[in-house]
Chain A
Amino acid sequence: MVRFSAGRLLESIVVLGVMTFVVYVLIGLMPGDPIDLMIAADPNLTSADAARLKALHGLDKPIVERYWNWLSNAVQGDFGYSRTYTKPVLDVLFPRLGNTLLLMSLSLIFALALAVPIGIYAALHPYSKTDYAINMFCFAGISIPSFWFALLCIILFAVHFEWLPAGGMETVGRGDLLDRAQYMVMPIFVLTISSVGSFTRFMRASMVQTLRQDFIRTARAKGVGTTRLLVGHALRNALLPLVTIVGLSFGNLFSGALITEIMFSWLGMGKMMYDAILGNDFNLALIGLLFATGATLLGNFLADVSQVVLDPRVSFASRENER
C-alpha cells in the first residue's frame, strides 16, 4: 500500500509539472493577448500604452522566463495575483471552488442515487418495456445538449411557472440557506440528468454481466435470498466498472461545468478557468487547471484503492503491475 501510494504520488508530481509547462506555453502561444485586443478596439490607446501595459503585466518577457518565474514562486507557495481580478489567485479561486464542489458533488450524489437503483432494476428486467423506457431516458439524458436543456428548464420553471429563480446564486438581500437552495435546484437538476444516463447504462451493463456469472448461479442454487444475492453478491462485483467511471469523473468536481454555469450565472470553476484562459490570466488559469488535474489524479488513485477494497482478487501489487 505504501509503495503503491508513493509511486502514485511521484507519478502525479511529474504529471502536474509537465501539465504546468504545457498549459503555460499553450496559453502563451495564443495569438493576440488582451492588450493587443484593447489597443485594436480603442483608438485612443497608443502602441506606447500597449508596451507600457505589457511590461507592467510581465508580458514582454520570453515565455520560458515567465514560466520559470511563475514556477519558482509557486513552489514557495506564492501563486501570485490574478491579472484580471487584481486579487491574490487563491482569493479568487477558493470561493469558486467551493461553489463548484457544492454543485458538482450534489449532482454526482443525486446522479448515483438514481443511476444505481435504476440500473439494477433495468438489469433485472432486461428487454422489458421498462428496460426500453429506461434506455430511452438514458440516451435522452446523454444526448440532450446541456445549454438547450438548461434554457428549457429556465423557460419552464422560471418564466412559465415562476417556481424557481432563473439564475444566479442568491436573492439580493436574502442569501439564507433556503434561498440559496432555490437557486441550486435547476443547475443540479440539469447536471444530474446529463450524467445519470451514462451511469445508469454502465450500472445496467455491469449488472447484467454479473448476473450471468457462475457464482451467481451457484448462490441461487444454494438458496440465497434475492436481496442478499443482489446486494451482497452481484452489486459488489457490478459496482467495479462504475467506480472506475466515477473515479475518472472526480476531476469534474473541481473543474466545473462551463455551459451550465454560464446558463445559470453560477460562479464556478468552469467559467473562471474559461475566462482566465481567454484573458491570458496565467496565474489563475494555471492554478485552476492544476486543481482539476490534481483532482483527476486523486480520483484515479481513489478508484484504484476502491477496486482493491471491493474486489479481493485485486491487490495493490497487481494494480502496480498493471501499470
Chain B
Amino acid sequence: MLKWLVAAVFVLVNCAVPARAKDELVIGISQFPNNFNPAIGTMLAKSYILGMARRPITIHDANWEPICLLCTELPSLEKGTAKFELTEDGKPGIAVTYTLLPTLRWGDNTPITTKDVVFTWKVGKNKKAGVGNYELFRRITKINVKDDRTFTLHLDKRTCDFETINGFNLLPAHIEEKNFTDPAEYRNRTAYDTDTTNPGLWFGPYRISKVVQGSYVVLEPNPTWAGKKPAFKRITVKAIEKTAALTANLLSGSIDYIAGELGLLLDQALEFEKQHGKRFNFVYKPGLVYEHADVNLSNPILADRRVRQALLHGLDRESITKQLFDGKQPVAHGSVSPLDSVYNPDVPKYDFDPKRAKALLKEAGWSTKRKGILHNAEGERLQIEFMTTAGNKSRELVQQVMQSMWRQIGIDVRIRNEPPRVYFGQTVRKRKFKGLAKFAWLSAPRNVPLTTLHSSRIPGEDNGWSGQNYTGYNNARMDKLIDDMQVVCEPEKNRALWNEMQILYSTDLPALPLYFRANAFIFPKWLKGVTPTGHQYTSTHWVEDWYAEK
C-alpha cells in the first residue's frame, strides 16, 4: 500500500507543470468577470480581458488623449464632422459623424458595419436589456446611416466631450439580433455567455478560445485582425482572488505577470518587491483613482472653510505617502490628476504647517486648549468623526496616521468604520457620515465633476438620494463653472473654466485631497511593450504591442 502511495506521489511530482514557451503568457488577476457581454454591466476584470478581444470605437490612450480605435478620425467642429444643432424639442444638441475603418471584421470574417452600430444602439437604449451605460445610449436620439461605414449620431445634449464615445461597445448584429427578440431575456440569452468562444463575437488581436468559469480564460490570435500581428500564440488570464496565492503563483511560475489593474495593493507590491525585487520588473503607475476624505458640510464645525484648510495644513501628506507607500502615490492637491491634460498646477496647496493650521483654527474660534483638545468659546470640543471602509488595511492605517497628526494640532478625531457594503450602500450614499468619509473616486480623463460637485446632485429624500455630491457642497460659482465646462468648447475658454474650477475646489475644500492611488505592475524580465495607462482603459487595449524579449 505504502509502495503504491509513494509511486503515485512520484508520478505526480514528476509530471508537474511543464515550463512554458515564451510565446505564451499567463497573466494573474484577482477577479473573474461575471459575464462577457461588453454592454452588460461594468467590471474591471471583464474590461481587462475584453480589451484583447474587442475594442471600443474611441478611447483615451496611454497619454490620456482621445483617439480612434475603430474609426478613421475623431469628429471635429472645424472639419464639419461635428455640428451643433437643435433637438426636436428645440434644445441645443450635437451631431457627430464617424467612419469605421475599412479593415474591420468579426472573427468569423463578417464585416463590421453600421448595421452593428445601429443594433448596439437599439440594445443600449432598451431599458429592459440591462446595459450598464444606459445614459450614453439614451442621449443618442437618432442615428443616420450614410453607408456601411459612415454614420452620424444625434445627441440630445451639447457637451464638449462629443468627440469620444468610449462606452459604445459594438455588438455583432448577425449573431445577437436573434437573442434580442425578447429584450428582458437578452442578458440570459446573449451569445457572449452562452457561446463565449464563438469567433464571430470578437474582433480584437485575440479571440477567446476557452473559458473555465471562475478560473481562467484562454485567448488565441484572431486571424481576421488586420492590425499589428500579436506576438503571443496564447494568452491565459487566470483569476486568483487571494493576493497571497497570487504572489505564490507568480513565484512558482504558474503565472508570468501580475496585472497592475487588478493585482496587488500597493503596500503588498512594495513588500513583495523588497523580497523578490531582483526576479521581476516593477512599475508603479499613479492614475485616476483619487483618494480623499469627503467632508460633510452640514456639520457646523466642518462648514467653516478655515477648519477644512486647517485640517489639510495639519496633515503631512508627503510623509504619509513616503513612509507608507514609498512615495509611489503622488499627493493630490485637487481632484484632477496631474496626468490629465486639463490639470492646473497653480491651485492653492496646503503644505504641512501645524502653526498655520493652529492659527486658522484660532481664527475659526477654536482657541482654548484643554487636555490637548481645542474648545471654542461655548466650551464645545473640536471633535470630528472619521469614517472609512472597515477591513481595508491600507486605508485604516492611513486613517490612524491622520488621526494622530490631527491630535497634534488639538483636534479630537473619533474613528468609526463600517464594512464596505454598509459604508457605501447606506452611510456615504445617504450622507449619514457626520464628519469625514474617506474613500476613492475613479473617473475618466477630463471628467466634468457634475455628479460630485454640482448642487443639483446633493443626495436627499426629495430627489430619491440621487447624485454623488455627498459633501452637500453648494456653490453657485461652481455650478456655473460646471455648466459652462460642458458647453463652452473653444479650447482656451474651456481650459480657463477647468482652471478656475480646480482653484475653487482647492480653496473651498469640499473634500480633503489625499493622494492619487498607484497600480503595481509586476512583470517578468522578458515581457516588454506593456504600457500602463493609469486610467480606466486597461493596458490590454494595446496588447498587440506586447512581446517577449529573446
Contacts and interface: CB of A to CB of B under 8 A. Distances in A.
Interface in B196-217: 210, 212-216
Contacts of B135: 44-46, 49
B425 A33 contact: yes
B421 A262 contact: no
B406 to A, nearest CB: 26
A44 B132 CA distance: 10
Contacts of A221: none
B443 A56 contact: no
Given A42-B442, A85-B34, A172-B216, A162 B16 contact: yes
Interface stretch (A1-9, A100-108, A179-187, A315-323): A179-187
A163 B128 CA distance: 51
B40 A86 contact: yes
Interface stretch (A151-159, A288-296, A303-311): A151-159
Interface stretch (B236-244, B296-304, B326-334, B391-399): B236-244
Interface in B437-496: 441-444, 447, 449, 451-452, 459, 463-468
B245 A166 contact: yes
B213 A84 contact: no
B127 interface: yes
Contacts of B37: 86
B127 A36 contact: no
B161 to A, nearest CB: 11
A172 B420 CA distance: 35
Residue in A46, A47, A57, A169 whose Cβ sees the most chain B Cβ within 10 Å: A47
B254 A167 contact: yes
A80 B193 CA distance: 16
B248 A262 contact: no
A140 B5 CA distance: 24
A54 B239 CA distance: 28
B421 A32 contact: yes
Interface stretch (A120-128, A195-203, A232-240, A263-271): A263-271
Contacts of A158: 248-249, 251-252, 254
A168 B242 contact: no
Contact of B16 (A31, A85, A182): A182
B428 interface: yes
A166 B246 CA distance: 9
Contacts of B429: 32, 36, 39-40
Residue in B234, B421, B443 whose Cβ sees the most chain A Cβ within 10 Å: B421
Interface in A107-161: 147, 150-151, 154-155, 158-159
B535 to A, nearest CB: 14
Contacts of A312: none
A154 B210 CA distance: 26
Contacts of A147: 242, 244
Interface in A49-92: 49, 51-53, 56-57, 81, 84-87, 92
A251 interface: no
Residue in B40, B133, B242 whose Cβ sees the most chain A Cβ within 10 Å: B242
In terms of DSSP, what is the predominant structure of the interface of chain B? mixed
A164 interface: yes
A76 B7 CA distance: 51
A265 B238 contact: yes
Contacts of A37: 420-421, 424-425
Given A46-B466, A167-B254, A178-B11, A40 B26 contact: no
B6 interface: no
A31 B234 CA distance: 42
A178 B12 contact: yes
A118 B234 CA distance: 48
B221 to A, nearest CB: 15
Contacts of A49: 132, 134-135
A181 B12 CA distance: 7
Nearest to A264: B245
B520 to A, nearest CB: 20
B463 A47 contact: yes
Contacts of B240: 167-168, 265
B12 A182 contact: yes
Nearest to B465: A47
B17 interface: yes
A36 B423 CA distance: 11
B251 A159 contact: yes
Nearest to A36: B425
A170 B17 CA distance: 10
A274 to B, nearest CB: 10
A126 B410 CA distance: 65
B345 interface: no
Given A167-B249, A169-B212, A52 B127 contact: yes
A40 B188 contact: no
Contact of B15 (A92, A182, A267): A182
B506 interface: no
Contacts of A51: 464
A86 B252 contact: no
B55 interface: no
B253 interface: yes
A81 B215 contact: no
Given A32-B421, A32-B422, A86 B193 contact: yes
Contacts of B72: none
B377 interface: no
B313 to A, nearest CB: 28
A44 B240 CA distance: 29
Contacts of B12: 163-164, 178, 181-182, 185
B130 interface: yes
Contacts of B451: 43-44, 46
A30 interface: yes
Contacts of B26: 172
Interface string B116-134: 0000000000011010111
B252 A168 contact: no
Interface in A13-36: 30-33, 36
Contacts of B188: 81, 86-87
A10 interface: no
Contact of B187 (A86, A168, A170): A86
Contacts of B9: 185
Nearest to B190: A86
Contacts of B426: 31-32, 36
A40 B424 contact: yes
A203 B28 CA distance: 43
B13 interface: yes
A168 B15 contact: no
Interface in A243-276: 262-265, 267, 271-272
Contacts of A95: 213
A165 interface: yes
B35 interface: yes
A32 B424 contact: yes
Nearest to B452: A43
A38 interface: yes
A36 B464 CA distance: 13
B218 interface: yes
Given A151-B245, A263-B245, A30 B251 contact: no
Given A31-B422, A185-B9, A262-B242, 16 more contacts: A37-B421, A37-B425, A38-B42, A39-B468, A40-B425, A43-B449, A48-B466, A49-B134, A86-B188, A147-B244, A158-B251, A159-B252, A163-B13, A165-B252, A167-B249, A182-B16
The 6 A-B residue pairs whose C-beta atoms are closest, nearest first, are A32-B425, A47-B466, A158-B252, A40-B424, A36-B425, A154-B248
22 contacts: A32-B423, A32-B429, A40-B428, A45-B132, A47-B459, A48-B466, A51-B464, A56-B130, A87-B188, A87-B193, A147-B244, A155-B248, A158-B252, A159-B248, A164-B16, A167-B240, A168-B240, A170-B212, A263-B242, A265-B215, A267-B213, A267-B215
